[in-house]
Structure 1
Amino acid sequence: MSTHPLVSVIIPTFNRRNDLLHCLRSLTESSYKNMEIIVVDNGSTDDTSEAVKDIILMLGSLI
Structure 2
Amino acid sequence: MPRQPTTYQSDLFSNPHDPETAQMPPWQALPEETRPTLTKLMVRLILDHVDGARAVQREEASHDA
Normalising by structure 2, we get a TM-score of: 0.28
Which entry has the higher C-alpha Rg, 1 or 2? Answer: 2
Which structure's residues are more often strand, by fraction? 1
**Higher helix proportion, which one?**
2
